[in-house]
């Protein structure tokens, strides 16, 4: 493993700011690296994700490694120890926005896969890398576009796992519950109907909603994330509309319809009238740097691989043989795996350097030592998973 190349690539990716919808500079870094490394094909799709293919000469499986290139914004750069886009290397750590989430993993994937691209034997199936866009906004939408082209037998998501194997995650849905009222001057409130008052009992009721639980993924969750009245500011006016947004953490098998039916059923059991309220999964849109519009409902399914699944066993053995402990665990947050495993049913695993709590924070960093181990792990996974998986 070329340590210097790995560090340099990670730093270069960090030095290219790439908030969701503005990933072009980071995409170019990844594309240029793959072209120079000898990937057989390198291209970008309509959303702007960059894809590289290494054609295998064997009769193995098609494996796709996914790492998103977009990051959340830097809201307070003055609070950072180093410039958040410097990729500063200090005492074994590389600092910067996206270092942990997840340009470090992307660099490790690319360096590891470049070694396979240089191997003349290539006695494996086709191997793909995709640097997806807009993941922080729409988990899985960009990956879904790539899956349609690559048609992989298995997917490896590079989100932070502390070098363990993640075999699942809860999903998430954004639910909008809205009440309509009638505006009036607040000096004569009896002439109107206050939308906030209409929705308050509903909010209190949802806090008591009973939700299912999974022995591996944990409990389902419903949590109020915002409440907004209109008009705003409401100087001397009774609000005519009140919109609440709820974060609903999902378990395997839950669908948009079952989630909404569950909420309706809860209100019915509590005798809460919601005839004048609207309830729906939020639908949203975002513009990609290519100019393409990405849109869909904010519903990202849960997924869970069985510990005895051949892909899980093959991956765990490969990592152990490479000197990595690789305990089995699950993500606490949502990933692109919601599309590959949750929506498409494609066997999916998570493996990456760093910790979940390093994402989106001030002074985000990644340890060089973990970066190197991740690259070793990705190489081992690429070689093992692109061969037929063994049972047991």
| pLDDT digit string, tens, across residues 326-344 | 899 999 899 999 999 999 9
Give me the pLDDT at residue 392, please: 61
Give me the pLDDT at residue 20, please: 97
User: Is the distance from CB of 183 to CB of 231 less than 8 angstroms?
Assistant: yes
For residue 148, the 8-state DSSP code is H
Domain ranges of the chain: 3-169+302-385, 171-287
Give me the pLDDT at residue 86, please: 96
CATH architecture classification, 171-287:
2-Layer Sandwich (3.30)
The CA–CA distances, whole Å, from 13 to 29, 103, 105, 205, 332 equal 7, 6, 11, 47, 26
Give me the pLDDT at residue 356, please: 87
For residue 18, what are its two tokens? 């790439």
Give me the pLDDT at residue 122, please: 87
Give me the pLDDT at residue 186, please: 92
Q: List 280's β-bridge partners, or say none.
A: 176
For the chain, give the percent of residues with pLDDT over 70: 100
3-169+302-385: CATH topology is Aminopeptidase (3.40.630)
Give me the pLDDT at residue 273, please: 80
What phi and psi, each to the nearest 5 degrees, are found at residue 135? -65, -35
Can you list the residues of the chain whose pLDDT is less than 70? 392
Give me the pLDDT at residue 95, please: 98
Phi-psi region of 96 (alpha: psi -120 to 50; beta: other; left: phi over 0): left
User: Is the distance from CB of 175 to CB of 279 less than 8 angstroms?
Assistant: yes
Condensed to tens digits (0 to 9), the pLDDT of residues 357-378 reads 889 999 999 999 999 999 999 9
Give me the pLDDT at residue 78, please: 94
Give me the pLDDT at residue 183, please: 93
Cα 121 from chain centroid? 34
């Amino acid at each position: 493993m070329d340590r210097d190349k790995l560090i340099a690539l990670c730093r270069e990716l960090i030095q290219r700011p790439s908030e969701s919808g503005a990933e072009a500079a980071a995409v170019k870094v990844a594309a240029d690296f793959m072209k120079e490394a000898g990937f057989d094909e390198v291209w970008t799709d309509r959303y702007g994700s960059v894809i590289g293919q290494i054609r295998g000469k064997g009769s193995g499986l098609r494996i796709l490694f996914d790492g998103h290139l977009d990051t959340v914004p830097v809201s307070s750069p003055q609070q950072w120890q180093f410039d958040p886009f410097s990729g500063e290397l200090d005492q074994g750590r590389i600092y910067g926005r996206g270092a942990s989430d997840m340009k470090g993993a992307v660099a490790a994937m690319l360096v590891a896969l470049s070694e396979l691209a240089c191997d003349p034997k290539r006695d494996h199936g086709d191997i793909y890398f995709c640097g997806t866009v807009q993941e922080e906004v729409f988990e899985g939408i960009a990956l879904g576009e790539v899956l349609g082209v690559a048609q992989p037998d298995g997917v490896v998501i590079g989100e932070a796992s502390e070098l363990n194997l993640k075999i699942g995650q809860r999903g998430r849905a954004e639910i909008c519950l809205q009440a309509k009222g009638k505006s009036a001057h607040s000096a004569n409130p009896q002439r109107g109907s206050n939308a906030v008052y209409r929705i308050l009992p509903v909010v209190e009721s949802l806090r008591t909603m009973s939700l299912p639980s999974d022995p591996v993924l944990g409990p389902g969750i419903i949590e109020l994330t915002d409440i907004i009245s209109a008009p705003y500011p409401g100087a001397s006016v009774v609000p005519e509309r009140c919109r609440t947004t709820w974060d609903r953490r999902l378990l395997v098998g839950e669908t948009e319809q079952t989630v909404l039916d569950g909420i309706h059923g809860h209100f019915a059991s509590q005798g809460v009238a919601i005839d004048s309220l609207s309830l729906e999964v939020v639908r949203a849109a975002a513009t990609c740097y290519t100019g393409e519009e990405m849109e869909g409902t904010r519903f990202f399914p849960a997924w869970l691989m069985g510990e005895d699944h051949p892909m899980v066993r093959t991956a765990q053995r490969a990592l152990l043989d490479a000197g990595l402990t690789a305990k089995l665990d699950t993500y606490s947050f949502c990933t692109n795996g919601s599309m590959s495993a949750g929506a498409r049913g494609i066997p999916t695993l998570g493996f990456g350097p760093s910790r979940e709590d390093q994402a989106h924070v001030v002074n985000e960093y990644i340890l060089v030592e973990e970066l190197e181990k991740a690259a070793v792990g990705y190489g081992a996974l690429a070689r093992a998973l692109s061969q037929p998986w063994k049972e047991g």
